[in-house]
């Protein structure tokens, strides 16, 4: 049979009630612990303050009279302010750290009747976190039973026999013992993962497992999260859902702030992220609050973090670690406590090897890293996402678009086929459904519309394949976006001059002489391209 061991404070108010024989008329919780016929305690680890040493000796003496088999081990505690949470928690934690627990042979209890409310809270937290492998033990007094003067003439041992026992309640914080509570927690966790997926009944097992883990991380941690994956895979969407989840758990009270780092360059990058003081650079006529300050108390999502410059990366690392940073041109630090979620479609390890990304920043944001698969890798999730997009369109425009049986079958068959590469991932699927819903007569998406949409998607993918062949892979995302637009304009015109006139229509008016064809030719040459290469593809 296991031994029963109790940890508890000596109650300098409750345990010292009564003097002489009359003390047996008073309920004293530490004494009552040793008066429980159904739960004999082998050892009492009794915490006391030095000023209560005299009371300690009296209580130990009475316990020996009441329960000679109970060993009392006094533990002196040095807590200057018993209402100071940090002092109390640290003291109790240190006791647990240095204590040799033997759960195979001993059961442990934490007596929460005595001590301040702070001490009781600390007992709870330490038991719940299993620093003490113990159950909580709450004592309550028995119904009052007056002892007459005649009773007081009895010997103390006889008085002890007349003293009624209080009630003892044991609280086990191990939730695995409580099926109903566990079921409710599981339901709550399921609701949380549904929120992260925005209610989409995804079927991809790997994705669902990843979302379940992200739910746990988002609910329990304030550390940075790194979301990897191709453009359009849903990084921004997931970051916003994580924010909503943390907000519903009352873990966050600031706003959601998002920026695509590929759009940041030069002084503008510093200013956008960290703010600037008036006169920090040419054109800085007014002071500006940066996004990091705007995200104070909230969540900052930096998409395409691999596009940040090295200087900005260094300042971001400092802001994450120290929760403060310097606005551009200022010597006064700004405080901001935000959670960071970073997104990237780059291989950051490769970027580190090239000297384009700081290794220390990567180590800081890579604690929780998740790779979001593209739509082509989750084709079983296309159908539920189609239903989600239809419902989203209905909510936004007040009209519920619907496929008929033939058109739905045709679109699904194409969307899940091997030839459907879905280069734009979920963003492209959203655009596809939106186009068909917008063009549908009275909200009915016909088979003919599906055929037109399939043709449009194939053309887009073919054009993107051409761009992939023409555009160098080793260029910044910012340059890639710009170059794709230039190539799109070039393919619409028959001559270099026509394309140049469209591209430089505004800046031409500010030049005395303009040669649009030459400007465009030089721009293309920067990337190793020529007009002939574009037109021959």
For 213-271, the DSSP string reads HHHHHHHH--S-EEEE--TTSSHHHHHHHHHHHHHHTTS--S-EEEEEGGG--HHHHHH
Contacts of 273 (CB under 8 A, 6+ apart): 259, 264, 290, 291, 292, 312, 315, 316
**What is the C-alpha to C-alpha distance for residues 172 and 127, in angstroms, rounded to an integer?**
9
Sign of CA dihedral 358, 361, 366, 367: positive
102, two tokens: 């033997």
User: What's the confidence (pLDDT) of residue 194?
Assistant: 76
R_g (Cα) of the chain, nearest Å = 35
pTM of the model: 0.63
Three-class secondary structure of residue 174 per DSSP: coil
User: What's the confidence (pLDDT) of residue 73?
Assistant: 95
The separation between the first and the last C-alpha atoms of the chain, rounded to the nearest angstrom, is 84
Domains of the chain from N-terminus onward: 3-173 (3.40.50.10770), 203-371 (3.40.50.300), 375-470 (1.10.8), 477-536 (no CATH)
Look up tokens 């009279």; give the residue: 65
Contact 224, 316 (CB under 8 A): no
Contact 304, 260 (CB under 8 A): yes
Name the DSSP class of 328. Answer: B
**What is the C-alpha to C-alpha distance for residues 397 and 390, in angstroms, rounded to an integer?**
11
**What is the C-alpha to C-alpha distance for residues 107 and 175, in angstroms, rounded to an integer?**
17
From 75, 76, 102, select the one nearest 4 (Cα to Cα): 102
**What is the C-alpha to C-alpha distance for residues 314 and 300, in angstroms, rounded to an integer?**
17
Ramachandran region, residue 364 (left: φ > 0; alpha: ψ -120 to 50; beta: rest): alpha
| pLDDT by 10s per residue, the chain, length 537 | 889 999 999 988 888 876 777 777 778 899 888 888 788 899 999 999 999 999 999 999 989 988 899 999 999 999 999 999 999 999 999 999 999 999 889 999 999 999 999 999 999 999 988 899 999 999 988 876 554 555 555 566 666 666 667 788 888 876 555 566 556 556 655 677 777 887 788 889 999 999 999 999 998 899 999 999 998 899 999 999 999 999 988 888 999 999 999 888 776 788 889 887 886 676 667 878 889 999 999 999 999 999 999 999 999 999 999 999 988 888 888 999 999 999 999 999 999 999 999 999 999 999 999 999 999 999 999 999 999 999 989 988 888 899 999 999 999 999 999 889 898 899 999 999 999 999 988 889 999 999 999 999 988 887 766 666 666 767 777 787 788 888 888 878 888 888 888 888 887 766 666 788 888 888 888 888 888 877 776
Pairing of strands 339-344, 225-228: parallel
If you write DSSP's letter for every residue of 113-132 in order, what string do you get? SSS-HHHHHHHHHHHHTTSS
Look up tokens 């088979």; give the residue: 447
| CB hemisphere CA count around 488 (13 angstroms) | 9
Pairing of strands 334-335, 324-325: antiparallel
315, two tokens: 């300042």
**Helices vs. strands in the chain: H and E counts, helices first:** 22, 15
13, two tokens: 């108010």
């Amino acid at each position: 049979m296991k031994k029963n061991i109790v940890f508890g404070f000596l109650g300098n108010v409750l345990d010292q009630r009564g003097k002489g024989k009359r003390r047996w008329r008073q309920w004293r919780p530490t004494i009552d612990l040793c008066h429980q016929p159904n739960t004999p305690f082998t050892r009492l680890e009794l915490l006391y303050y030095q000023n209560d040493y005299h009371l300690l000796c009296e209580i130990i003496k009475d316990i020996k009279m009441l329960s000679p088999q109970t060993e009392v081990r006094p533990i002196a505690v040095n807590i200057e302010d018993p209402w100071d949470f940090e002092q109390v928690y640290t003291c109790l934690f240190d006791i647990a750290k240095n204590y040799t627990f033997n759960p195979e042979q001993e059961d442990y209890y934490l007596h929460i009747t005595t001590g301040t409310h702070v001490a009781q809270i600390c007992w709870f937290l330490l038991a719940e976190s299993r620093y003490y492998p113990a159950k909580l033990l709450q004592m309550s007094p028995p119904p009052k039973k007056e002892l007459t003067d005649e009773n007081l003439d009895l010997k103390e041992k006889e008085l002890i026999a007349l003293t009624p026992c209080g009630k003892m309640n044991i609280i086990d914080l191990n939730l695995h013992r409580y099926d109903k509570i566990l079921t409710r927690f599981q339901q709550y966790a399921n609701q949380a993962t549904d929120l992260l997926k925005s209610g989409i009944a995804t079927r991809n097992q790997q994705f669902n497992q990843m979302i379940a883990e992200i739910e746990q991380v988002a609910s329990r941690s304030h550390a940075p999260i790194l979301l990897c994956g191709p453009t359009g895979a849903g990084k921004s969407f997931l970051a916003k859902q994580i924010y909503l989840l943390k907000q519903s758990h009352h873990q966050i009270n600031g706003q959601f702030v998002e920026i695509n780092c590929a759009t940041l360059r030069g002084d503008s990058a510093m200013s956008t992220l960290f703010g600037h003081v008036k006169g920090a650079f040419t054109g800085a006529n007014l002071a500006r609050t940066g996004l990091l300050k705007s995200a104070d108390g909230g969540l900052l999502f930096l998409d395409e973090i691999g596009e940040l410059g090295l200087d900005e990366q260094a300042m971001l690392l400092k802001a994450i670690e120290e929760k403060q940073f310097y606005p551009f041109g200022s010597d006064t630090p700004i405080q901001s406590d935000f959670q960071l979620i970073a997104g990237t479609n780059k291989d950051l390890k490769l970027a580190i090897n090239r000297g384009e990304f700081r290794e220390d920043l990567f180590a800081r944001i890579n604690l929780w890293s998740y790779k979001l698969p593209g739509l082509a890798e989750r084709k079983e999730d296309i159908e539920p996402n189609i239903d989600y997009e239809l419902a989203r369109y209905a909510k936004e425009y007040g009209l519920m678009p619907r496929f008929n049986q033939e058109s739905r079958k045709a679109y699904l068959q194409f969307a899940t086929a091997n030839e459907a590469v879905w280069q734009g991932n979920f963003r492209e699927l959203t655009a596809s459904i939106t186009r068909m819903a917008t063009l549908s007569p009275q909200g009915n998406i016909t088979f003919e519309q599906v055929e037109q949409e399939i043709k449009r998607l194939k053309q887009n993918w073919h054009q993107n394949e051409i761009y992939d062949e023409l555009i160098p892979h080793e260029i910044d995302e910012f340059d890639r976006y710009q170059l794709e637009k230039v190539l799109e304009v070039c393919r619409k015109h028959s001559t270099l001059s026509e394309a140049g006139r469209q591209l430089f229509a505004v800046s031409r008016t500010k030049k005395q002489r303009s040669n649009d064809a030459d400007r465009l030719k030089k721009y293309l040459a920067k990337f190793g391209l020529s007009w002939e290469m574009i037109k021959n593809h």
